[in-house]
Amino acid sequence: MSHAPAISVPVDTPLRAAIVDLDGTLVDTLGDFVVVLQHTLADMGCNPIEIARVDRGFVSMTVGKGTEDLLRRSLAHAWGLPDDATEVREAVPEAWRHYEPHYLRLNGQHSEVFPGVAEGLAQLSALGLPLACLTNKPTAFAEQLLARKGLRGHFAHVFGGDAFARKKPDPLPLIKTCEALGQPPSQTLMVGDSSNDAQAARAAGCPVLLVSYGYNHGHPIAEVPALAHVDRLDQVDWAGLFPR
């Protein structure tokens, strides 16, 4: 059994709550995204070559900034156009109309909970901490996925990319989630997998812990400053991070 890494936290900022990202942190959802996007592109009239361009490698470097951004960049990539092309931007609302029912139908069918996540969340829950899941995925999709993967019961709150006026990496979602948890940002840990999470946490005033296995837009996560970079959530000394 692996030993938990030693994670030191300043004694003048005891941690009292945690916010956890979803895609790339709790669940490997790339398979869901690829299948749903390819159905969406087919509905949009794309040919097989265009559809095949939106594969797992592309999605792994694209996901994380919300559904509208993902759809816009996927359409542009499929069509061989710039991300900001007028034709692409104007097609996003139609793409969303196809994408939403496909996602609700397929959500979780092509995804897997990362190793150590269920155990790590159970360890966190056992400490009696207020926990929230904060993602740029639409709230309805996030709620459905967490329920289907047996993880929903760990969280007092689930907030998606449509819950607040702005999405991560803007700090607003973290600030609002801290308010819902009843703890200041300085005492609320953000657990994520990308520079999006780290940037939002830093701007909000939350300490951040990053997992090594997620989706960081093709860049090494080890280069992003954090309290620690961990390979599994069940290897963290949660009791040490959250002294009672």
Catalytic residues: 21
Helix (DSSP H) and strand (DSSP E) numbers for the chain: 10, 8
What is the rounded distance in angstroms from the CA atom of residue 143 to the CA atom of residue 152?
7
Say whether the peptide bond before residue 169 is cis (omega within 30 degrees of 0): yes
C-alpha to C-alpha distance for 241 and 158, rounded to whole angstroms: 22
Can you tell me which residue has the tokens 């990319």?
Answer: 161
Q: Both tokens of residue 176?
A: 């609002």
With a CB cutoff of 8 Å and minimum separation 6, the contacts of 180 are 132, 156, 157, 159
At residue 137, what are phi and psi to the nearest 5 degrees? -65, 145
